[in-house]
Amino acid sequence: METKEPKVGVFLSDSGKQLSNILDFHAITNFVKGIPGVVYVAQGSDFWHDRGLENLVETVKSKKIDRVVVAGTTPKLSEVKIAREIEKAGLNPYLMEYLDLKDHCAMPHRSTPAEATEKAKAMLAGSVERAKLLEPLKKLEFPSLKSALVIGGGIAGMQTAIDLADLGFQVNLVEREPFLGGLAARAGRFFPTDDCAICIQPPSSDVKTITHTSRKCVYRSGFSEVPNLAIHTKTRVLAVEGEPGNYSVTIEKTPRYIDEDKCINCDKCTKVCPVEVPDEYNGKLTKRKAVYSNIPSVHPPIYTIDENSCKFHDCARCVEACPTGAVKLDQKPEKTTINVGSIIVATGFEEFDSSVIKEYHYNEYPDVITNLQLARMIDNFGPTKGAILRPSNHQPAKKIVFVQCVGSRDQRYKLYCSSICCMISLKHATIIKSAFPDTDVTICYIDMRTTGREHEYYYEKARDMGIKFVKGRPTEITKSLETDKLVVDTEAALLHRMLQVEADLVVIAPAMIPAKGTEQLAEVLGVDLDIDGFFKEYNAKLRPTETKLRGIYICGGATFPKDAPTTSLHAHSAAIKAAKFLNASKITKDQRTAVIDQDFCGDCEFCPATCPYQAISVERKDEEHLAAKVSDLLCEGCGICVGACPLGAIELRHARPSQMKAQMKGLMSVNGTSSPLILAICCSECGHTAVDSSGMAMMEYPANVRVMRVPCTGIVQVQQILEAFKAGAQGVMVVGCKTEGCHYEAGSEKAEKKVDMTKILLQEYGVDPERLEMFKMVFIEGREFAEAARNMTERLQKLGRLNLIPS
Amino acid sequence: MSKYALFLGCTIPARQPNYELSSRKALAKLEVELVDLPDMTCCSPPPVQSLDLETSLAIASYNLCLAEEAGLDLLALCSGCFESLAIANAELKHDPELKARINRILSATGKQFRGTVEIKHLLEVLNEDIGLKRLKAAVSRPLSNLKIAPFYGCHALRPSELLKLDDPEQPHILETLIEALGAKSLEYPNKLKCCGGLLRGVSDKLALELARDKLLNASKAGADCIATLCPFCFVALDIGQIQIRSKLDETFDIPILHYSELLALALGVESSELALETHKIRVDKILDRI
């Protein structure tokens, strides 16, 4: 720690005399000069660009100033710029304290200039006291691998893998099925282009065919020939260890029982195989052999043996039939460990099991099928070679009824709209109507949701083609007594009556749910799922393909059902996020992190669970004691652990309790005519910006409300609130983000609990708990902040003066 | 020998002695003792619930208190009574605050709900208490010539999470019990759809159309008769056929029998003891075939 007395330079900006109309800069300057440690005070128009900034930097150098306090006007931006410049001048950029005299003081208190000036003095006193205790922080570097693991070989995974491989990353693509393509390969065609599902943008390493416009079928794309892309089919992720930039992943490959280098795709093994089982790939509408390949254009073009149905050595006819000796019935599962810098999850989604909706008799009536099964029928490679046949008798289906929202938008099953099913049904209905114009097609819907670009044209086209639309959710699908047809019993809301629609084939549009195994994978990776069970992004707007853990990304249908264009967009986004993170082969980060004082750490093991980023681990110190340890790489510097540690053993290097206490005392040190003093502890994310916006919008509130910035309200400790009262606050406001919008996941929620707990304590101490309150707001809620500040003042005026020591 | 307090409600004593007689006689054959408790009151069906829920629960639970005092589970014949009483019983049992409020109301009558008895449906008693094996053994006049369309109505099955009689979308209990009498149980479209009973007087046309659809589907399926559980379904389909004849100009002649009547006949109770003349659609052709 510093031994010599710090030299503080204070730079007061009057914003082109704008502020000096309200604040008495003469008095403020004299006041600041009197604070011990302050060696220099300057007043100027501004200090964040041009001459002002040059002057500041020169003064820092010439006066040997080692703590800079800038009272500026335009926060955030200028803070960054000044920090960068003083760093160039040789001072550690974290030895600067910034406060906003305009929007946090002059503007909101313009009607009471005397009180505003008092508050400005207090703000400066707080910032100077805090600045004196600031520590220089280091820049840290962590070596990282320029490699990635992509989990899932559907269109999202393939597209991400290609992007990263093109950028020079070593990529491992893991797919649990024997073939790539995922759900998309089974879907046949995509809307709104009616494009093939297996068409992808080829890797740039495909020198023979690549042009800016080229699109390629997966099997012709050269995908498997990319030198820095390894494809692992029939493979699962078992365990993940390590840190961002350096993960060690254990994967297990189930044997194909076919030598991948020898198979020549001749189909002789399938011809002799005596085992027939329902073909999952084709929605069980047909059968396949135990040794099989899906469709002629499948990728990789290597046969596989289904270990659940093959009789292996009891039969072994395929071994004899194979002309190249590629069948290897004795292959064993292989576990391997791969080292990667980041992990991208692209595990997709699947259809909800509609058989639980008994009134629709799916899986019971063979002529009730799902959209995915219908897609297999429409596919020329599918079980019916493109004909639309009734599974019960293989006769053409002349009357088809689609039933939307099966399991979606249904309180009994999935509350959400699966978002793509309306378009899937429209796509299928129009394809069928084009190929077989005399087919009678009806779509029963709750609402047709065609919100994407060109999607409404599909709907329009479908109506023009004579496809019928019935607004209503069918109550039941029954079997007619006279004929072999099905009858869809439905409300027709626009006709105000019930309808019974006869059908040869009923196609249901099931809800789309997370792929099987999503929960286990989330557990292995340590990332969260949302309320519907999909992988949860860190922030829907800003970080749609990032998880809360650096280094782990998500994309495509694994995050929510998506159409092909959106999936592709998502995949590119995940790739660029991963590349941005690892491109330099090192991760650079400053040491705004938590640190544990081992002398105080009390073996309690509470802190690891409180960290949203898994940055704290507990290690054995000796036989009897444990020691918590913070990873500088994983720590995001929020301070939630600080607020959680029962022994006060954890501190943030950039917001130590001693620094906050010093600032708090300063803020409460000048009151003059301002009363009752209120300390507003605001998080640096939404809480502090709400204060900004109240000032920017010229809202007014009393100058007795003094604001202290903390990284996240999660850092607030019970004793810190008590300290505030001791320092002279008559009331305390804790202002954080909205619970759902907390930038550090759980901080504002934990702060709220701590506020509730402190209220109980205050009651015990004979202090009215109404003197403390938690608020949650976002930047644009400046009005709400001003209102809260006014209400709190009024409330405290009614409560009267707080006397901690009864007179 | 099992013993239940019998809850008759209002419609059965007033309009359907056939339901009461057949149930009493059939259950006597199966050695089930029915106890008539004095002072039973209204079950508080949905129309009463919609006026004031807590008052309605107090009225329903008054009946439960009587059964508790007698130490007997309560057998409700009417599906509406079964539903109302079972809901009241379930809600009071799992909501202590609600129970306390209802008991404050009940205290004026000197009663307190304790939650010690169960409400049983006739089908539950037969299926669980008697058991299919004993029931089949007791059948002396198998209905093997009859094809019967089972009809549940709504109140016996829903709300399913409280009543727990059977799966509300794919129930089997009635079919199983019909087959136990030696008859064939038929599948037909819209088996679970509304009978129209409660729409009578509100929208007569819709009520009759719903009943008509049901009769049509059952007759197309080849039903000799429809087996009902609820007095309202019985009215909708039995008297309903007379009204369909005059209002919709369509003629059906499908006897409607409560399951209890079929049960009594199969167990050997004489048809003359069952007040079958209360049926508007004559059941002679059924009797001829057994």
Digit-coded pLDDT (tens) for B100-148: 999 999 999 999 999 999 999 999 999 999 999 999 999 999 999 999 9
> Which range among A261-265, A533-537, A605-609 has the greatest average pLDDT?
A533-537
Q: What are phi and psi of A350, to 5 degrees?
A: -150, 175
Question: What's the pLDDT at A299?
Answer: 83
Please compute the mean of the pLDDT values over residues B144-167 and round it to a whole number.
94
Tokens 């920090």 map to which residue?
Answer: A83
Q: Which architecture does CATH list for A591-652? A: 2-Layer Sandwich (3.30)
User: Does A478 sit within 8 Å of B189, measured CB to CB?
Assistant: yes
Residue written as token pair 């029982």: A257
State pLDDT tens for residues A497-510.
Answer: 989 999 999 999 99
B185 and B70 share one domain: no
Distance from CA of A478 to the nearest CA of B (A): 6
On the CB side of A354, CA atoms within 13 Å amount to: 29
Pairing relation of β-strands A586-590 and A139-143? antiparallel
**What are A572's two structure tokens?**
């590119």
The vertex-B117 CA angle with B114 and B120, nearest 5°, equals 145
Model pLDDT, residue B61: 97
Residue at a domain's end among B60, B88, B121: B121
DSSP secondary structure letter of residue A48: S
The whole model's pTM is what? 0.85
CB < 8 Å to A364, chain B:
none
DSSP-derived letter for residue A254 is P
| Alpha-carbon gap, residue A343 to A411, rounded angstroms | 35
Mean per-residue pLDDT, A658-674? 93
Nearest chain A residue (CA) to B222: A481
- Domain shared by B147 and B115, yes or no: no
In a domain, B134, yes or no: no
Q: DSSP secondary-structure letter at A492?
A: E
Q: What is the pLDDT confidence band of residue A126, given thresholds at 50, 70 and 90?
A: very high
Q: Does B96 touch chain A (CB under 8 A)?
A: no
Helix axes B231-243, B204-220, angle to 10 degrees: 90
AA identity, residue B284: D
Task: Kindly give the interhelix angle for B173-180 and B259-266, rounded to the nearest 10 degrees.
Answer: 20
Which residues are within 8 A (CB) of A422 and not within 5 positions of it... i.e. 6 or more apart?
Answer: A404, A445, A448, A449, A450, A509
Measured between alpha carbons, how far is A161 from A344 in angstroms, rounded to an integer?
9
Residues B80 and B154 both lie in one domain:
no
Identify all chain B residues contacting A475, using CB atoms and an 8 Å cutoff: 193
In the prediction, which pLDDT does A74 show? 63
H-run or E-run covering A125: helix A113-132
Structural domain of B54: 2-121
Shared-domain flag, residues B114 and B81 = yes
Q: Looking at the structure, do residues B100 and B215 belong to the same domain, yes or no?
A: no
Picking from B62, B91, B121, the residue at the C-terminal end of a domain is B121
Inspect the interface and report whether the beta carbons of A479 and B189 lie closer than 8 Å.
yes
CA of A363 vs chain B CAs: smallest distance (Å): 14
B160 plus B256 within the same structural domain: yes
Q: What pLDDT is attached to residue B148?
A: 98
How far apart CA A234 and CA A226 sit, in angstroms, is: 20
> A482 to chain B: which residues are within 8 Å by CB?
220
CATH, residue B150: 3.40.50.11810
CATH number of the domain where residue B31 is located:
1.20.1050.140
Contacts of B70 (CB under 8 A, 6+ apart): B5, B35, B37
Answer yes or no: are the C-beta atoms of A605 and A626 closer than 8 Å.
yes
Tell me the pLDDT band of A294, cut-offs 50, 70 and 90: confident
Q: Decide: helix, strand or coil at residue A524.
A: helix
C-alpha distance from A503 to closest chain B C-alpha (Å): 14
According to DSSP, the residues that pair with A441 across neighbouring strands are A400
Rounded to 10°, the helix A50-62/A77-88 angle is: 40
Strand pairing category for A199-200 and A216-217: antiparallel
How far apart are the C-alpha atoms of A333 and A633, rounded to whole Å?
35
Q: Which residues contact A252 (CB under 8 A, 6 or more apart)?
A: A235, A236, A238, A333, A334, A335
Same domain, yes or no: B116 and B190: no
Q: How many beta-carbon pairs under 8 angstroms link A with B?
A: 24
In a domain? residue B255: yes
One-letter amino acid for residue A98 of the chain: Y
Q: Kindly list the residues from chain A whose CB atom is less than 8 angstroms away from the CB atom of residue B152.
A: none
* B171: in domain: yes
Of A492, A429, A483, the C-alpha closest to A461 is A429
Say which of A476, A481, A489 has its CB closest to residue B220.
A481
Do B47 and B180 fall into the same domain? no
Residue A101 region by backbone torsions, left for phi larger than 0, else alpha for psi between -120 and 50, else beta:
alpha
Q: What is the pLDDT of chain B when averaged over all its residues? A: 95
E strand or H helix that includes residue A158: helix A155-166
- Helix/strand/coil (H/E/C) assignment for every residue in A127-138: HHHHHHCCCCCC
Largest Cα–Cα separation, chain B? 57
- A207 confidence band (pLDDT: 50, 70, 90): low
Q: Is B205 on the interface with A (CB under 8 A)?
A: no
Same domain, B110 and B170: no
Q: What is the pLDDT of residue A212?
A: 61
* Contact residues, chain A, for B194 at CB < 8 Å: none
Residue of A nearest to B217 (CA): A481
Contact call for B193 and A487, based on CB within 8 A:
no
Q: Which residues of B touch A479 (CB under 8 A)?
A: 189
Residues B97 and B149 in one domain: no
Distance CA A106, CA A14 (A): 10
- Indicate the domain borders of chain A: 1-137, 147-254+341-347+515-582, 268-332, 358-506, 591-652
Is A160 a residue whose pLDDT tops 90? yes
Assign 3-class secondary structure to chain B.
Answer: CEEEEEECCCHHHHHCHHHHHHHHHHHHHCCEEEECCCCCCCCCCHHHHHHCHHHHHHHHHHHHHHHHHHCCCEEECCHHHHHHHHHHHHHHHHCHHHHHHHHHHHHHHCCCCCCCCCEEEHHHHHHHHHCHHHHHHHCCCCCCCCEEEECCCCCCCCCHHHHCCCCCCCCCHHHHHHHHCCCEECCCCCCCCCCCHHHCCCCHHHHHHHHHHHHHHHHHCCCCEEEECCHHHHHHHHHHHHHHHHHHCCCCCCCEEEHHHHHHHHCCCCHHHCCHHHCCCCCHHHHCCC
Q: Is A539 helix (H, G, I), strand (E, B) or coil?
A: strand
Query: pLDDT grade, residue A208 (50/70/90)?
Result: low
B129 assigned to some structural domain: no
Residues A642-660: what's their mean pLDDT? 94
Please state the separation of Cα A792 from the chain's center in Å. 35
Q: Where are the beta strands (DSSP E) in A612-745?
A: 616-620, 626-630, 650-652, 678-683, 705-710, 731-736
Instruction: Give the mean model confidence (pLDDT) for residues B180-196.
Output: 93
| Residues A320-350 pLDDT 10s | 999 999 999 999 999 999 999 999 999 999 9
Please tell me which residue of chain A has the smallest CA distance to B220.
A481
Is the pLDDT score of A621 beyond 90?
no
Phi first, then psi, for residue A603 (nearest 5°) are 60, 15
In angstroms, the Cα distances linking A95 to A7, A264, A681 are 11, 68, 21
User: Looking at the complex, does the CB of residue B192 fall below 8 Å from at least one CB of chain A?
Assistant: yes
Residues of A in contact with B192 (CB under 8 A): 359, 476
Residue A409's contacts (CB-CB under 8 Å, 6 or more residues apart) are A415, A416, A417, A446
pLDDT in tens, B15-70: 999 999 999 999 999 999 999 999 999 999 998 999 999 999 999 999 999 999 99
Q: Is B220 at the interface with chain A, CB within 8 A?
A: yes
Residue A807 pLDDT > 60: no
- Chain A residues whose CB is inside 8 A of the B220 CB are 481-482
Asked if B72 and B117 touch (Cβ cutoff 8 Å), the reply is yes
* Model confidence band, residue A364 (pLDDT cutoffs 50, 70, 90): very high
B169/A contact by beta carbon, under 8 A: yes
Q: What is the pLDDT of residues A31-76, one digit of tens each?
A: 999 999 999 999 998 888 788 899 999 999 999 999 999 998 765 6
Higher pLDDT, B216 or A72: B216
Checking if the pLDDT of A802 tops 80, the result is yes
Range A1-137 has CATH code 3.40.50.2300:
yes
Contacts of A104 (CB under 8 A, 6+ apart): A123, A691, A692, A695, A707
Across the range A24-30, mean pLDDT stands at: 96
- Total structural domains within chain B: 2
A248, β-bridge pairs: A241, A339
pLDDT value at residue B245: 95
Nearest alpha carbon to residue A458 among A424, A484, A416, A496: A424
Q: Which fold has domain A358-506?
A: FAD/NAD(P)-binding domain (3.50.50)
- Bridge partners of A445, per DSSP, are A471
- Asked whether residue A3 carries a pLDDT value surpassing 60, the answer given is no
With respect to residue B10, please indicate whether it lies within any of the assigned structural domains.
Answer: yes
A1-137 and A358-506 share one CATH topology? no
Task: Report d(CA B102, CA B93) in Å as an integer.
Answer: 11
- For residues B110 and B221, membership in a common domain is answered with no
The residue type at B116 = T
Q: Where are the beta strands (DSSP E) in A244-373?
A: 246-253, 276-278, 287-289, 291-292, 304-305, 334-340, 342-345, 349-351, 368-370
Rounded Cα distance between A568 and A160, Å, is 8
> By three-state DSSP, how is residue A179 classified?
coil
User: How do residues B228-247 score in pLDDT, each as one tens digit?
Assistant: 999 999 999 999 999 999 99
Q: Does domain A147-254+341-347+515-582 have CATH number 3.50.50.60?
A: yes
**3-class DSSP state for residue A512?**
strand
CA distance A655 to A715: 9
Q: Which residue of B has its CA nearest to A486?
A: B189
Q: Is the pLDDT of residue A2 over 60?
A: no
Whether B108 and B165 map to the same domain: the answer is: no
With cut-offs at 50, 70 and 90, classify the pLDDT of residue A1: very low
Q: Which helix (H) or strand (E) holds A43?
A: strand A38-44
In a domain, residue B46? The reply is yes
